[in-house]
A and B are shown apart, each in its own frame.
Chain A
Amino acid sequence: MRKVWSSPNQTGELMSVRVLILGVGTVGKGVLKTILGKPEFSVCGIASSKGYIYSENGLGQEALKQMAAGKKMSDAADFKQGSAMELVKEKEYDVLIELTTTDIKNAEPAFSYMGEALVRGKHLVTSNKGPLALHFHELDSLAKKNECMMRFEATVGGAIPIFSTIRDYLADEKVGSVKGILNGTTNYILSRMFEERIPYATVLKEAQDRGIAEKDPSYDVEGIDAAAKLAIIGASVFGKKNAYSEVKRTGITHVTPEILELAAQRNYRIKLICSADSKGMEVSPRFVGLSDPLASISGTTNAVTIETGSAGPLTLVGRGAGQNETAAAVIADLVNIEKNTR
Protein backbone atom coordinates (compact mmCIF):
# COMPACT_ATOMS: atom_id res chain seq x y z
CA MET A 1 0.00 0.00 0.00
CA ARG A 2 1.27 3.44 -0.91
CA LYS A 3 2.71 5.23 2.12
CA VAL A 4 1.52 8.69 3.02
CA TRP A 5 4.12 11.43 3.40
CA SER A 6 5.76 10.39 6.63
CA SER A 7 9.34 11.54 6.47
CA PRO A 8 10.46 13.41 9.58
CA ASN A 9 10.87 17.18 9.41
CA GLN A 10 13.99 19.08 10.55
CA THR A 11 13.15 18.56 14.23
CA GLY A 12 12.66 14.82 13.72
CA GLU A 13 8.85 14.85 14.09
CA LEU A 14 6.62 12.96 11.69
CA MET A 15 4.85 15.29 9.30
CA SER A 16 1.06 15.42 9.35
CA VAL A 17 -1.01 13.61 6.75
CA ARG A 18 -2.08 16.27 4.26
CA VAL A 19 -5.79 16.27 3.58
CA LEU A 20 -7.69 17.88 0.74
CA ILE A 21 -11.41 18.38 1.43
CA LEU A 22 -13.93 18.81 -1.38
CA GLY A 23 -17.30 20.12 -0.20
CA VAL A 24 -17.88 22.38 2.78
CA GLY A 25 -21.56 21.70 3.43
CA THR A 26 -22.93 20.25 6.65
CA VAL A 27 -20.71 17.17 6.61
CA GLY A 28 -17.65 19.14 5.48
CA LYS A 29 -17.99 21.53 8.43
CA GLY A 30 -18.39 18.58 10.80
CA VAL A 31 -15.24 16.98 9.42
CA LEU A 32 -13.35 20.26 9.74
CA LYS A 33 -14.39 20.63 13.40
CA THR A 34 -13.13 17.14 14.26
CA ILE A 35 -9.96 17.24 12.23
CA LEU A 36 -8.84 20.49 13.88
CA GLY A 37 -8.25 18.62 17.12
CA LYS A 38 -6.04 15.99 15.48
CA PRO A 39 -2.41 17.04 15.01
CA GLU A 40 -1.66 13.98 12.87
CA PHE A 41 -3.67 15.57 10.07
CA SER A 42 -3.30 18.90 8.37
CA VAL A 43 -5.87 20.38 5.99
CA CYS A 44 -3.92 21.72 3.02
CA GLY A 45 -6.87 22.56 0.79
CA ILE A 46 -10.61 23.03 0.76
CA ALA A 47 -12.78 23.41 -2.31
CA SER A 48 -16.41 24.22 -2.97
CA SER A 49 -18.28 24.75 -6.22
CA LYS A 50 -17.23 28.42 -6.17
CA GLY A 51 -13.50 28.14 -5.59
CA TYR A 52 -10.81 26.98 -3.20
CA ILE A 53 -8.13 27.81 -0.68
CA TYR A 54 -4.86 25.88 -0.61
CA SER A 55 -1.48 25.94 1.13
CA GLU A 56 1.01 23.13 0.62
CA ASN A 57 2.12 23.30 4.26
CA GLY A 58 -1.39 23.38 5.66
CA LEU A 59 -4.04 26.08 6.06
CA GLY A 60 -4.05 28.24 9.18
CA GLN A 61 -5.93 26.82 12.17
CA GLU A 62 -7.80 30.07 12.84
CA ALA A 63 -9.18 30.29 9.30
CA LEU A 64 -10.28 26.65 9.48
CA LYS A 65 -12.00 27.18 12.83
CA GLN A 66 -13.96 30.11 11.43
CA MET A 67 -14.96 28.07 8.42
CA ALA A 68 -16.07 25.17 10.57
CA ALA A 69 -18.18 27.68 12.51
CA GLY A 70 -19.91 28.79 9.32
CA LYS A 71 -17.78 31.60 7.86
CA LYS A 72 -17.91 31.64 4.06
CA MET A 73 -14.81 30.27 2.37
CA SER A 74 -15.03 33.06 -0.23
CA ASP A 75 -14.32 35.58 2.57
CA ALA A 76 -10.89 34.04 3.23
CA ALA A 77 -7.93 36.22 2.19
CA ASP A 78 -6.34 33.52 0.04
CA PHE A 79 -9.60 32.38 -1.63
CA LYS A 80 -9.21 31.68 -5.32
CA GLN A 81 -11.94 31.27 -7.86
CA GLY A 82 -11.44 28.09 -9.79
CA SER A 83 -12.35 24.47 -10.18
CA ALA A 84 -11.88 21.85 -7.50
CA MET A 85 -10.35 19.71 -10.24
CA GLU A 86 -7.37 22.10 -10.35
CA LEU A 87 -6.59 21.16 -6.75
CA VAL A 88 -7.22 17.44 -7.22
CA LYS A 89 -5.10 17.28 -10.37
CA GLU A 90 -2.25 19.67 -9.70
CA LYS A 91 -1.65 20.22 -5.99
CA GLU A 92 0.12 18.09 -3.41
CA TYR A 93 -1.85 16.18 -0.76
CA ASP A 94 -1.99 12.65 0.68
CA VAL A 95 -5.71 11.94 1.13
CA LEU A 96 -8.70 13.29 -0.76
CA ILE A 97 -11.86 13.64 1.35
CA GLU A 98 -14.68 13.90 -1.17
CA LEU A 99 -17.86 15.28 0.43
CA THR A 100 -19.63 17.01 -2.47
CA THR A 101 -23.34 16.58 -3.20
CA THR A 102 -24.48 13.20 -4.49
CA ASP A 103 -25.69 12.92 -8.06
CA ILE A 104 -27.23 9.52 -8.64
CA LYS A 105 -27.84 10.11 -12.36
CA ASN A 106 -24.26 10.56 -13.56
CA ALA A 107 -22.21 10.79 -10.34
CA GLU A 108 -20.40 13.88 -11.60
CA PRO A 109 -18.32 15.84 -10.89
CA ALA A 110 -17.39 13.70 -7.87
CA PHE A 111 -16.59 10.60 -9.94
CA SER A 112 -14.00 12.55 -11.96
CA TYR A 113 -12.43 14.01 -8.79
CA MET A 114 -12.15 10.57 -7.22
CA GLY A 115 -10.79 8.95 -10.37
CA GLU A 116 -8.17 11.67 -10.84
CA ALA A 117 -7.03 11.45 -7.21
CA LEU A 118 -6.68 7.66 -7.40
CA VAL A 119 -4.78 7.84 -10.70
CA ARG A 120 -2.35 10.20 -8.93
CA GLY A 121 -1.93 7.67 -6.11
CA LYS A 122 -3.88 9.61 -3.49
CA HIS A 123 -5.92 7.76 -0.88
CA LEU A 124 -9.65 8.43 -0.89
CA VAL A 125 -12.33 8.88 1.78
CA THR A 126 -15.86 9.77 0.74
CA SER A 127 -19.43 10.16 1.94
CA ASN A 128 -20.67 10.56 -1.64
CA LYS A 129 -22.97 7.72 -2.66
CA GLY A 130 -23.40 8.48 -6.38
CA PRO A 131 -19.95 7.56 -7.69
CA LEU A 132 -19.77 4.37 -5.65
CA ALA A 133 -23.31 3.25 -6.46
CA LEU A 134 -22.71 3.75 -10.19
CA HIS A 135 -18.97 3.09 -10.61
CA PHE A 136 -17.76 1.10 -7.63
CA HIS A 137 -15.65 -1.37 -9.56
CA GLU A 138 -13.98 1.27 -11.75
CA LEU A 139 -12.91 3.19 -8.65
CA ASP A 140 -11.94 0.04 -6.78
CA SER A 141 -9.77 -1.11 -9.71
CA LEU A 142 -8.09 2.29 -9.89
CA ALA A 143 -7.40 2.18 -6.15
CA LYS A 144 -5.86 -1.28 -6.37
CA LYS A 145 -3.85 -0.49 -9.48
CA ASN A 146 -2.38 2.63 -7.87
CA GLU A 147 -1.95 1.04 -4.41
CA CYS A 148 -4.37 3.43 -2.76
CA MET A 149 -6.93 2.89 -0.02
CA MET A 150 -10.55 3.77 -0.77
CA ARG A 151 -12.80 4.12 2.25
CA PHE A 152 -16.53 4.90 2.10
CA GLU A 153 -18.04 4.07 5.50
CA ALA A 154 -20.01 7.35 5.57
CA THR A 155 -21.92 6.51 2.39
CA VAL A 156 -24.18 3.93 4.10
CA GLY A 157 -25.77 4.00 7.54
CA GLY A 158 -24.09 7.16 8.87
CA ALA A 159 -22.14 6.28 11.99
CA ILE A 160 -22.83 2.51 11.76
CA PRO A 161 -19.55 0.75 10.91
CA ILE A 162 -20.94 -1.61 8.26
CA PHE A 163 -18.00 -1.93 5.89
CA SER A 164 -15.27 -1.94 8.52
CA THR A 165 -17.18 -4.63 10.43
CA ILE A 166 -17.33 -6.79 7.30
CA ARG A 167 -13.77 -5.97 6.23
CA ASP A 168 -12.03 -6.25 9.60
CA TYR A 169 -14.15 -8.05 12.20
CA LEU A 170 -15.71 -10.53 9.77
CA ALA A 171 -12.60 -10.83 7.59
CA ASP A 172 -12.63 -14.63 7.84
CA GLU A 173 -16.41 -15.00 7.46
CA LYS A 174 -18.51 -15.55 4.37
CA VAL A 175 -21.27 -12.96 4.40
CA GLY A 176 -24.50 -14.63 3.23
CA SER A 177 -26.76 -11.61 3.19
CA VAL A 178 -27.09 -8.03 4.37
CA LYS A 179 -30.47 -6.53 5.17
CA GLY A 180 -31.38 -3.35 6.92
CA ILE A 181 -33.14 -0.06 7.36
CA LEU A 182 -30.89 2.46 5.64
CA ASN A 183 -33.10 5.51 5.14
CA GLY A 184 -34.06 7.50 8.23
CA THR A 185 -36.74 9.61 6.54
CA THR A 186 -38.85 6.67 5.38
CA ASN A 187 -38.41 4.88 8.69
CA TYR A 188 -39.60 8.01 10.48
CA ILE A 189 -42.67 8.25 8.22
CA LEU A 190 -43.59 4.56 8.61
CA SER A 191 -43.02 4.73 12.39
CA ARG A 192 -45.27 7.77 12.75
CA MET A 193 -47.96 6.28 10.49
CA PHE A 194 -47.96 3.18 12.68
CA GLU A 195 -47.94 5.02 16.00
CA GLU A 196 -50.63 7.57 15.13
CA ARG A 197 -52.61 5.62 12.47
CA ILE A 198 -52.45 8.64 10.18
CA PRO A 199 -52.07 8.68 6.38
CA TYR A 200 -48.80 8.93 4.52
CA ALA A 201 -49.45 12.45 3.17
CA THR A 202 -50.08 13.87 6.66
CA VAL A 203 -46.91 12.36 8.12
CA LEU A 204 -44.87 13.46 5.12
CA LYS A 205 -45.93 17.06 5.71
CA GLU A 206 -45.01 16.73 9.40
CA ALA A 207 -41.60 15.31 8.41
CA GLN A 208 -41.05 18.20 6.00
CA ASP A 209 -42.00 20.74 8.70
CA ARG A 210 -39.50 19.12 11.07
CA GLY A 211 -36.72 19.14 8.46
CA ILE A 212 -36.62 15.32 8.32
CA ALA A 213 -37.94 15.14 4.74
CA GLU A 214 -36.91 17.36 1.82
CA LYS A 215 -39.37 19.64 -0.01
CA ASP A 216 -39.04 17.21 -2.90
CA PRO A 217 -39.13 13.97 -0.94
CA SER A 218 -38.91 11.62 -3.94
CA TYR A 219 -35.23 10.77 -3.36
CA ASP A 220 -36.17 9.25 -0.01
CA VAL A 221 -39.77 8.05 -0.31
CA GLU A 222 -39.31 6.37 -3.67
CA GLY A 223 -36.38 4.41 -2.29
CA ILE A 224 -33.70 6.04 -4.49
CA ASP A 225 -31.41 6.92 -1.57
CA ALA A 226 -31.83 3.44 -0.08
CA ALA A 227 -31.18 1.84 -3.49
CA ALA A 228 -27.93 3.81 -3.90
CA LYS A 229 -26.76 2.63 -0.47
CA LEU A 230 -27.78 -0.93 -1.21
CA ALA A 231 -25.92 -0.80 -4.53
CA ILE A 232 -22.73 0.10 -2.66
CA ILE A 233 -23.25 -2.91 -0.39
CA GLY A 234 -24.07 -5.11 -3.40
CA ALA A 235 -20.95 -4.01 -5.28
CA SER A 236 -18.50 -4.08 -2.39
CA VAL A 237 -19.74 -7.16 -0.50
CA PHE A 238 -21.27 -9.33 -3.24
CA GLY A 239 -19.27 -8.13 -6.27
CA LYS A 240 -22.30 -6.89 -8.25
CA LYS A 241 -21.10 -5.22 -11.45
CA ASN A 242 -24.05 -2.95 -12.38
CA ALA A 243 -25.27 -2.73 -8.84
CA TYR A 244 -27.50 0.36 -8.90
CA SER A 245 -29.40 -0.62 -12.04
CA GLU A 246 -29.90 -4.15 -10.68
CA VAL A 247 -31.65 -3.03 -7.47
CA LYS A 248 -35.40 -3.77 -7.54
CA ARG A 249 -36.93 -0.68 -5.98
CA THR A 250 -40.35 0.10 -4.50
CA GLY A 251 -40.96 3.14 -2.30
CA ILE A 252 -43.37 3.74 0.56
CA THR A 253 -45.80 6.19 -1.05
CA HIS A 254 -48.62 3.61 -1.31
CA VAL A 255 -48.31 2.23 2.23
CA THR A 256 -51.55 2.85 4.13
CA PRO A 257 -52.35 3.15 7.86
CA GLU A 258 -54.78 0.25 7.35
CA ILE A 259 -52.07 -2.17 6.18
CA LEU A 260 -49.88 -1.13 9.12
CA GLU A 261 -52.75 -1.89 11.49
CA LEU A 262 -53.57 -5.25 9.85
CA ALA A 263 -49.88 -6.19 9.99
CA ALA A 264 -49.69 -5.21 13.68
CA GLN A 265 -52.56 -7.59 14.44
CA ARG A 266 -50.38 -10.42 13.08
CA ASN A 267 -47.31 -9.23 15.02
CA TYR A 268 -45.59 -7.61 12.05
CA ARG A 269 -44.18 -4.16 11.48
CA ILE A 270 -43.72 -2.69 8.00
CA LYS A 271 -40.28 -1.27 7.23
CA LEU A 272 -38.53 -0.12 4.07
CA ILE A 273 -36.02 -2.94 3.92
CA CYS A 274 -32.84 -3.02 1.86
CA SER A 275 -31.72 -6.59 1.26
CA ALA A 276 -28.78 -7.97 -0.67
CA ASP A 277 -27.25 -11.38 -1.23
CA SER A 278 -25.46 -13.13 -4.07
CA LYS A 279 -28.80 -13.59 -5.91
CA GLY A 280 -29.90 -9.96 -5.99
CA MET A 281 -30.77 -6.68 -4.30
CA GLU A 282 -34.15 -5.24 -3.37
CA VAL A 283 -35.50 -2.14 -1.65
CA SER A 284 -39.17 -2.43 -0.74
CA PRO A 285 -41.65 -2.15 2.15
CA ARG A 286 -41.62 -5.55 3.90
CA PHE A 287 -43.29 -7.31 6.80
CA VAL A 288 -40.85 -7.75 9.66
CA GLY A 289 -41.74 -10.14 12.48
CA LEU A 290 -41.52 -8.77 16.02
CA SER A 291 -38.73 -11.22 16.88
CA ASP A 292 -36.51 -9.57 14.25
CA PRO A 293 -34.38 -6.75 15.75
CA LEU A 294 -35.23 -4.58 12.73
CA ALA A 295 -38.91 -4.49 13.82
CA SER A 296 -38.11 -2.30 16.82
CA ILE A 297 -36.09 0.30 14.91
CA SER A 298 -38.16 3.49 14.98
CA GLY A 299 -37.77 7.13 14.00
CA THR A 300 -34.76 8.11 11.92
CA THR A 301 -32.54 5.35 13.33
CA ASN A 302 -30.81 2.97 10.91
CA ALA A 303 -29.94 -0.68 11.44
CA VAL A 304 -28.34 -3.46 9.48
CA THR A 305 -28.21 -7.22 9.95
CA ILE A 306 -25.21 -9.03 8.49
CA GLU A 307 -25.82 -12.78 8.10
CA THR A 308 -22.60 -14.72 8.39
CA GLY A 309 -21.61 -18.36 8.18
CA SER A 310 -20.42 -19.25 11.66
CA ALA A 311 -21.01 -16.01 13.57
CA GLY A 312 -24.73 -16.03 12.71
CA PRO A 313 -26.69 -12.80 12.33
CA LEU A 314 -25.07 -9.63 13.58
CA THR A 315 -27.25 -6.51 13.92
CA LEU A 316 -25.75 -3.04 14.16
CA VAL A 317 -27.93 -0.07 15.12
CA GLY A 318 -27.15 3.64 15.02
CA ARG A 319 -27.90 7.08 13.74
CA GLY A 320 -28.00 6.99 9.99
CA ALA A 321 -27.43 10.65 9.26
CA GLY A 322 -26.46 13.96 10.81
CA GLN A 323 -23.41 16.18 10.78
CA ASN A 324 -21.55 14.59 13.69
CA GLU A 325 -22.46 11.01 12.80
CA THR A 326 -21.38 11.26 9.17
CA ALA A 327 -18.26 13.23 10.13
CA ALA A 328 -17.39 10.52 12.67
CA ALA A 329 -17.53 7.89 9.91
CA VAL A 330 -15.33 10.02 7.63
CA ILE A 331 -12.77 10.59 10.38
CA ALA A 332 -12.76 6.88 11.29
CA ASP A 333 -11.89 6.09 7.66
CA LEU A 334 -9.19 8.77 7.64
CA VAL A 335 -7.63 7.39 10.83
CA ASN A 336 -7.80 3.89 9.36
CA ILE A 337 -5.87 5.04 6.29
CA GLU A 338 -3.33 6.90 8.42
CA LYS A 339 -2.69 3.81 10.56
CA ASN A 340 -2.37 1.53 7.56
CA THR A 341 -0.09 3.70 5.46
CA ARG A 342 2.46 5.22 7.83
Chain B
Amino acid sequence: MKASLKVILRDTPGQLRKALEVFENVNANVISVMHVHGEKVGDEVPVEIIFGIPDREALQRMEILLRESGWKVLSIGKIVQLSRITVGIIGHIIGTKSFEEMITKVDELGANVCDFSIRMPAKNIESSALLTFESENNECTENAISEIGKLCEKYGLLLIKPVS
Protein backbone atom coordinates (compact mmCIF):
# COMPACT_ATOMS: atom_id res chain seq x y z
CA MET B 1 0.00 0.00 0.00
CA LYS B 2 0.97 3.62 -0.51
CA ALA B 3 1.50 5.91 2.52
CA SER B 4 2.84 9.34 3.39
CA LEU B 5 4.93 10.68 6.28
CA LYS B 6 5.53 14.30 7.23
CA VAL B 7 8.44 14.64 9.63
CA ILE B 8 10.56 17.55 10.95
CA LEU B 9 14.27 17.32 10.13
CA ARG B 10 17.17 19.65 10.95
CA ASP B 11 18.28 21.29 7.74
CA THR B 12 21.78 19.81 7.87
CA PRO B 13 23.44 17.11 5.73
CA GLY B 14 22.82 13.45 6.73
CA GLN B 15 19.50 14.02 8.57
CA LEU B 16 17.34 12.47 5.84
CA ARG B 17 19.62 9.43 5.54
CA LYS B 18 19.26 8.81 9.31
CA ALA B 19 15.49 9.07 9.17
CA LEU B 20 15.36 6.64 6.26
CA GLU B 21 17.12 3.95 8.29
CA VAL B 22 13.71 3.24 9.87
CA PHE B 23 12.31 2.60 6.38
CA GLU B 24 14.68 -0.30 5.88
CA ASN B 25 13.55 -1.89 9.18
CA VAL B 26 9.91 -2.06 8.08
CA ASN B 27 10.58 -2.90 4.44
CA ALA B 28 9.27 0.43 3.12
CA ASN B 29 10.24 1.73 -0.29
CA VAL B 30 10.58 5.49 -0.87
CA ILE B 31 8.69 6.84 -3.86
CA SER B 32 9.28 10.58 -3.44
CA VAL B 33 10.78 13.08 -0.99
CA MET B 34 9.82 16.75 -0.77
CA HIS B 35 11.39 19.35 1.52
CA VAL B 36 8.72 21.92 2.41
CA HIS B 37 11.03 24.95 2.62
CA GLY B 38 8.08 27.32 2.82
CA GLU B 39 7.31 25.91 6.30
CA LYS B 40 10.94 26.07 7.57
CA VAL B 41 11.28 27.40 11.14
CA GLY B 42 14.86 28.19 12.26
CA ASP B 43 17.00 25.25 11.11
CA GLU B 44 14.04 22.81 11.11
CA VAL B 45 12.30 21.94 7.88
CA PRO B 46 9.26 19.65 7.35
CA VAL B 47 9.90 16.82 4.87
CA GLU B 48 7.09 14.89 3.17
CA ILE B 49 7.94 11.34 2.10
CA ILE B 50 5.67 9.17 -0.05
CA PHE B 51 6.46 5.47 0.16
CA GLY B 52 5.23 1.94 -0.42
CA ILE B 53 4.86 -0.32 2.63
CA PRO B 54 3.57 -3.90 2.96
CA ASP B 55 0.60 -3.32 5.33
CA ARG B 56 -0.95 -1.27 8.16
CA GLU B 57 1.03 -3.16 10.83
CA ALA B 58 4.31 -2.17 9.20
CA LEU B 59 3.09 1.42 9.07
CA GLN B 60 2.29 1.35 12.81
CA ARG B 61 5.76 -0.11 13.55
CA MET B 62 7.33 2.64 11.49
CA GLU B 63 5.55 5.35 13.47
CA ILE B 64 6.63 3.78 16.81
CA LEU B 65 10.25 3.44 15.64
CA LEU B 66 10.36 7.05 14.40
CA ARG B 67 8.94 8.45 17.66
CA GLU B 68 11.18 6.22 19.82
CA SER B 69 14.19 7.52 17.87
CA GLY B 70 13.13 11.08 18.67
CA TRP B 71 11.86 12.20 15.27
CA LYS B 72 9.08 14.80 15.30
CA VAL B 73 6.31 13.15 13.26
CA LEU B 74 3.72 15.66 12.04
CA SER B 75 1.55 13.10 10.23
CA ILE B 76 1.70 9.53 8.99
CA GLY B 77 -0.96 7.46 7.23
CA LYS B 78 -2.16 5.41 4.33
CA ILE B 79 -2.90 7.32 1.15
CA VAL B 80 -6.45 6.45 0.24
CA GLN B 81 -7.17 6.57 -3.48
CA LEU B 82 -10.91 6.76 -3.90
CA SER B 83 -12.51 5.80 -7.16
CA ARG B 84 -15.76 7.48 -8.07
CA ILE B 85 -18.50 5.31 -9.60
CA THR B 86 -21.72 6.54 -11.16
CA VAL B 87 -24.74 4.35 -11.86
CA GLY B 88 -28.04 5.27 -13.51
CA ILE B 89 -31.44 4.37 -12.11
CA ILE B 90 -34.72 4.64 -14.05
CA GLY B 91 -38.19 4.10 -12.65
CA HIS B 92 -40.58 5.30 -9.98
CA ILE B 93 -37.96 6.25 -7.43
CA ILE B 94 -39.82 8.96 -5.55
CA GLY B 95 -42.44 7.74 -3.12
CA THR B 96 -40.55 4.54 -2.36
CA LYS B 97 -37.78 3.90 0.12
CA SER B 98 -35.54 2.61 -2.66
CA PHE B 99 -33.02 5.43 -2.62
CA GLU B 100 -32.84 5.60 1.18
CA GLU B 101 -32.11 1.86 1.30
CA MET B 102 -29.44 2.22 -1.39
CA ILE B 103 -27.57 4.89 0.56
CA THR B 104 -27.72 2.82 3.75
CA LYS B 105 -26.50 -0.31 1.96
CA VAL B 106 -23.65 1.46 0.14
CA ASP B 107 -22.63 3.07 3.43
CA GLU B 108 -22.63 -0.30 5.25
CA LEU B 109 -20.27 -1.68 2.60
CA GLY B 110 -17.71 1.05 3.30
CA ALA B 111 -18.44 3.19 0.26
CA ASN B 112 -19.81 6.70 0.42
CA VAL B 113 -22.65 8.17 -1.64
CA CYS B 114 -21.45 11.63 -2.64
CA ASP B 115 -23.86 12.78 -5.32
CA PHE B 116 -27.41 12.23 -6.52
CA SER B 117 -29.13 13.88 -9.48
CA ILE B 118 -32.68 13.24 -10.57
CA ARG B 119 -34.97 14.28 -13.41
CA MET B 120 -38.72 13.94 -13.02
CA PRO B 121 -40.34 14.89 -16.33
CA ALA B 122 -43.98 14.61 -15.18
CA LYS B 123 -46.26 12.97 -12.66
CA ASN B 124 -46.62 9.21 -13.25
CA ILE B 125 -43.69 9.21 -15.68
CA GLU B 126 -40.57 7.31 -14.70
CA SER B 127 -37.78 9.35 -13.14
CA SER B 128 -34.15 9.16 -14.21
CA ALA B 129 -31.39 9.46 -11.64
CA LEU B 130 -27.64 9.26 -11.27
CA LEU B 131 -26.14 7.96 -8.05
CA THR B 132 -22.43 8.55 -7.46
CA PHE B 133 -20.42 6.91 -4.71
CA GLU B 134 -16.77 6.80 -3.71
CA SER B 135 -15.08 3.51 -3.00
CA GLU B 136 -11.62 2.51 -1.81
CA ASN B 137 -11.22 -0.68 -3.83
CA ASN B 138 -12.70 -2.88 -6.56
CA GLU B 139 -14.24 -5.36 -4.15
CA CYS B 140 -16.15 -2.60 -2.37
CA THR B 141 -17.28 -1.15 -5.72
CA GLU B 142 -18.51 -4.53 -7.01
CA ASN B 143 -20.36 -5.27 -3.77
CA ALA B 144 -22.01 -1.86 -3.79
CA ILE B 145 -23.14 -2.24 -7.42
CA SER B 146 -24.42 -5.73 -6.68
CA GLU B 147 -26.47 -4.51 -3.68
CA ILE B 148 -27.85 -1.55 -5.65
CA GLY B 149 -28.81 -4.07 -8.35
CA LYS B 150 -30.74 -6.18 -5.83
CA LEU B 151 -32.63 -3.13 -4.58
CA CYS B 152 -33.43 -2.07 -8.16
CA GLU B 153 -34.87 -5.53 -8.74
CA LYS B 154 -36.90 -5.30 -5.53
CA TYR B 155 -38.40 -1.93 -6.52
CA GLY B 156 -38.76 -2.65 -10.27
CA LEU B 157 -36.12 -0.11 -11.32
CA LEU B 158 -33.69 -0.29 -14.24
CA LEU B 159 -30.04 -0.10 -13.21
CA ILE B 160 -27.45 1.19 -15.68
CA LYS B 161 -23.93 0.19 -14.66
CA PRO B 162 -20.63 1.50 -15.98
CA VAL B 163 -19.17 -0.71 -18.69
CA SER B 164 -16.19 -1.92 -16.68
A254-B91, A258-B121 known; A263 vs B163 contact (CB < 8 Å): no
Residues of chain A within 8 A (CB-CB) of B127 are 258
Q: Is the CB of A256 within 8 A of B130?
A: no
Q: Is the CB of A287 within 8 A of B90?
A: no
> Which residues of B does A touch, CB under 8 Å?
86-88, 90-91, 117, 119, 121, 126-130, 158, 160-164
Interface residues on A, range: 20 to 34
A179-B164, A287-B163 known; A256 vs B86 contact (CB < 8 Å): no
Contact of B88 (CB < 8 Å), options: A177, A259, A292: A259
Q: Is the CB of A292 within 8 A of B163?
A: yes
Distance in Å: Cβ of B123 to nearest Cβ of chain A: 15
Per-position binary interface string of chain A over residues 247-271, scored 1 when its CB falls under 8 Å from any chain B CB and 0 otherwise: 0001000111011011101101011
18 A/B residue pairs, CB under 8 Å, sorted by A? A179-B164, A250-B158, A254-B90, A254-B91, A255-B160, A256-B126, A256-B128, A259-B90, A259-B119, A261-B119, A262-B88, A262-B128, A263-B88, A268-B162, A275-B164, A284-B161, A285-B158, A288-B163
Contact of A258 (CB < 8 Å), options: B87, B119, B158, B160: B119
Q: Is the CB of A289 within 8 A of B162?
A: yes
Distance in Å: Cβ of A267 to nearest Cβ of chain B: 10
CA A158 – CA B127 in complex, angstroms?
Answer: 36
A250-B158, A262-B117, A262-B130 known; A256 vs B163 contact (CB < 8 Å): no
A256-B126, A258-B121 known; A266 vs B164 contact (CB < 8 Å): no
Q: Is the CB of B130 within 8 A of A266?
A: yes
Ranked nearest first, the 9 interchain pairs of A and B with the lowest CB-CB distance are: A258-B119, A258-B128, A259-B128, A286-B163, A254-B158, A287-B162, A256-B128, A288-B163, A262-B130
Q: Give B91's nearest chain A residue, CB to CB.
A: A254
Distance in Å: Cβ of B4 to nearest Cβ of chain A: 29
CA A285 – CA B88 in complex, angstroms?
Answer: 10
A254-B91, A254-B126, A266-B130 known; A259 vs B86 contact (CB < 8 Å): no
Distance in Å: Cβ of B47 to nearest Cβ of chain A: 37
Q: Is the CB of B128 within 8 A of A287?
A: no
Distance in Å: Cβ of B95 to nearest Cβ of chain A: 17
Distance in Å: Cβ of B128 to nearest Cβ of chain A: 4
Per-position binary interface string of chain A over residues 286-303, scored 1 when its CB falls under 8 Å from any chain B CB and 0 otherwise: 111100101000000000
> Which residues of A does B touch, CB under 8 Å?
177, 179, 250, 254-256, 258-259, 261-263, 265-266, 268, 270-271, 273, 275, 284-289, 292, 294
CA A157 – CA B162 in complex, angstroms?
Answer: 22
Q: A287-B87, A287-B88 are in contact. List 13 more A-B contacts (CB 8 A).
A: A179-B163, A258-B128, A259-B88, A259-B128, A261-B119, A262-B117, A262-B130, A268-B86, A286-B161, A287-B160, A287-B162, A288-B162, A292-B163
CA A16 – CA B69 in complex, angstroms?
Answer: 88
Residues of chain A within 8 A (CB-CB) of B90 are 254-256, 259
Distance in Å: Cβ of B40 to nearest Cβ of chain A: 42
Which of A179, A284, A287: most chain B Cβ within 10 A? A287
Count of inter-chain pairs, beta carbons less than 8 A? 69
Which of A258, A263, A289: most chain B Cβ within 10 A? A258
Distance in Å: Cβ of B99 to nearest Cβ of chain A: 15
Q: Give B89's nearest chain A residue, CB to CB.
A: A259
Residues of chain B within 8 A (CB-CB) of A292 are 163
CA A102 – CA B119 in complex, angstroms?
Answer: 40
Distance in Å: Cβ of B36 to nearest Cβ of chain A: 35
Q: Is the CB of A262 within 8 A of B119?
A: yes
Q: Give B126's nearest chain A residue, CB to CB.
A: A256
Residues of chain A within 8 A (CB-CB) of B128 are 256, 258-259, 262
CA A292 – CA B164 in complex, angstroms?
Answer: 10
Residues of chain B within 8 A (CB-CB) of A294 are 163
Distance in Å: Cβ of A263 to nearest Cβ of chain B: 6
Which of A254, A275, A288, A289: most chain B Cβ within 10 A? A254
CA A285 – CA B128 in complex, angstroms?
Answer: 14
CA A227 – CA B87 in complex, angstroms?
Answer: 22
Q: Give B121's nearest chain A residue, CB to CB.
A: A258
Q: Is the CB of A263 within 8 A of B130?
A: yes
Which of A259, A262, A284, A294: most chain B Cβ within 10 A? A259
Q: Give B86's nearest chain A residue, CB to CB.
A: A266
A254-B90, A256-B90 known; A270 vs B160 contact (CB < 8 Å): yes
Q: Give B115's nearest chain A residue, CB to CB.
A: A266
Residues of chain A within 8 A (CB-CB) of B126 are 254, 256
CA A189 – CA B158 in complex, angstroms?
Answer: 18
Residues of chain B within 8 A (CB-CB) of A288 are 162-163
Q: Give B132's nearest chain A residue, CB to CB.
A: A266
